[in-house]
Structure 1
Amino acid sequence: MKAATAAKKLGVLLQATPAEFQEGVVSRDELNALQTDPPEWLRELRRTGPHPRQVVASRLGVSISGLARAGITDPLTTDAIDAIKAENPRWLQLERDTQAKVREEAARLKEKDD
């Protein structure tokens, strides 16, 4: 698979990975090996970032759309995410509330279907 696909599956920003990873092709076995026994560069990227939008959204407890509404379009580091959490701005509170409602509605619909 392409490096971009592998980076997405690994939850890291492609541009932050080593050049040999970016330029290469990753087999399914290599991807499994990276997931089960990540090298130091991958552990460090997952720990400190910069993180792609889906990881930023997940760590903040909001949707990717919520990030966009807040004007956050660039990758963020773990420190930047922690700073936003500590500040707990109004937009973050609103987006977390929205996410909670979405999850509640999804659970209600799933229960209704069962």
Structure 2
Amino acid sequence: MKPQTMKAATAAKKLGILLAAAPEEFRDREISRTELDELNANPPAWLVTLRADGPHPRDVVAHKLGVSNSGLARAGVTEPLTTAEIKALLEEKPEWLVAERATQAQVHAENARVKQRNAERAARD
């Protein structure tokens, strides 16, 4: 039986890394589920470095900055960022970042409120 495989782009997404920054031997082939599990369990040096220093994919950048992907787009951040660039933004606190983090906090608060309301309704029914 042939093992289940995925494209390198899918594996990179699951690993939380930028495909373009991965080594060529990773980018240019299919990755089996077993290999993916092994990379997660025992990451090689290149994966440890990529996860720590970047460059990071958009969703990881957004998460580290505490904003949404849409917030990055509104701010004009289109390129992958390194950990050092993310830290610099967090220290500088540009106006767009402060505004987008506030928006993200409001979204989380509203989601929590709706979840609580739905739980209370379910408890009554």
Q: For the residues of structure 2 that align with 1:30 and 1:73, how far apart are their CA atoms?
A: 31
Counterpart of 1:6 in structure 2 is 11
How far did residue 36 of structure 1 move?
Answer: 1.4
Q: Report matched runs for 1:83-94 at 5 Å.
A: 83-94=88-99
Q: Report matched runs for 1:64-83 at 5 Å.
A: 64-83=69-88
- Alpha-carbon RMSD: 0.6
Q: For the residues of structure 2 that align with 1:24 and 1:30, how far apart are their CA atoms?
A: 12
Matched residue SS, 2:13: helix
User: With structure 2 as the length reference, what TM-score do the two structures score?
Assistant: 0.89
Which one of the candidate residues 22, 26, 29 is aligned to 2:31?
26
How far did residue 29 of structure 1 move?
Answer: 1.0
User: With structure 1 as the length reference, what TM-score do the two structures score?
Assistant: 0.98
Which one of the candidate residues 103, 114, 117 is aligned to 1:109?
114
Q: State the one-letter code of the partner of 1:15.
A: A
Is the counterpart of residue 98 in structure 1 residue 103 in structure 2? yes
Percentage of matched positions with identical amino acids = 60
Is the counterpart of residue 63 in structure 1 residue 68 in structure 2? yes
Q: For the residues of structure 1 that align with 2:76 and 2:109, how far apart are their CA atoms?
A: 26
Matched residue SS, 1:106: helix
Moved over 3 A (4+): none
Counterpart of 1:50 in structure 2 is 55
> Rg: which structure is higher?
2
